[in-house]
A = this chain, B = another copy of it.
């Protein structure tokens, strides 16, 4: 089953199907399209953006998309994060390893990049009082202005539409 794919496209399709199956998820065309969008973009996207990208190839409904995203999160395939704006964002586990990771959110363009895992970044011991709680997850988000945006004139343009040139 570890055949070398001949093209990146084929690799993407073949391996995402395998990923879904191994997670116990029936690899329907729509689910494949969703996971491929997430894999291709490699960062945390709001559902609206995912829908727009998926719809480039597939007719799709937002309710179904939300259900697919919930399923991915439930099965540990994807993670859901909040960005401080109103929309939650979804990303794959980078490297398909199941480790939680930090994010960087650009307040100007709305891009949310995945960063290394939280291990070594957060010193849980320094949070004394927090340890009164049974920890389930640790969210770390760096808000700021990304390199690309800093290079651009700081035009007070339309603020953060969470859109990335799609649709």
Contacts and interface: CB of A to CB of B under 8 A. Distances in A.
A23 to B, nearest CB: 22
Chief secondary structure at chain A's binding surface: strand
Contact of A102 (B113, B115, B127, B150): B127
Given A82-B84, A139-B140, A132 B116 contact: no
A16 interface: no
A60 to B, nearest CB: 23
Given A82-B84, A115-B127, A123-B120, A139 B137 contact: no
A138 B115 CA distance: 13
A150 B122 CA distance: 24
A147 B132 contact: yes
24 contacts: A104-B133, A106-B133, A107-B136, A113-B129, A116-B126, A116-B127, A120-B123, A122-B140, A123-B123, A130-B142, A132-B147, A133-B142, A133-B144, A133-B145, A134-B144, A134-B145, A134-B150, A137-B143, A137-B144, A138-B140, A138-B142, A139-B141, A139-B142, A140-B140
